[in-house]
Amino acid sequence: MAELRGLGAKLEEFRKTGARLVAISGDSVEETRTMVAKRGFEFTVLSDPGLTVAQSLGMLHTKAKETKDASRPGTIVVDREGRIRWFFIDSRIRNRPDPEEVLTQLRAAR
């Protein structure tokens, strides 16, 4: 959640680049709605409870929670044509890109 709060704090700067910040949660739709309301996020958070998106992007961490699969956290910059221009994922779950690095990558993708 710290990463999402950090990115959310830069929301206006993201908008100035013409970008749209979207997060994807592996939780159910209801759990995702509750989390968004509780945290006050002002950006789109989608729900992927079956981890279909995570699997398609190679971000699936099988048996991450004993018997339950989970998504590895990652950050992706997609250009206006839908091409992935930058992708960050690390095997160390706490290693996340700084929001300024994400902004740099967004500007480069324009």
Report the C-alpha gap between 42 and 78 in whole angstroms. 20
Cα separation, 74 vs 59, in Å, equals: 8
Which backbone phi and psi does 76 adopt, to 5 degrees?
A: -130, 135
pLDDT digits (tens, 9 = 90+) for 17-51: 888 999 999 899 999 999 999 999 999 999 999 99
Whether residue 52 has pLDDT greater than 90: yes
* Structural domain for 16, as ranges: 2-109
- Full-prediction pTM beyond 0.75? yes
User: How many domains would you assign to the chain?
Assistant: 1
Q: Which residues of 19-30 are buried (b: 16+ CB within 10 A; e: fewer)?
A: bebebbbbbeee
Q: CATH number of the domain at 23, please.
A: 3.40.30.10
DSSP state of 60: E
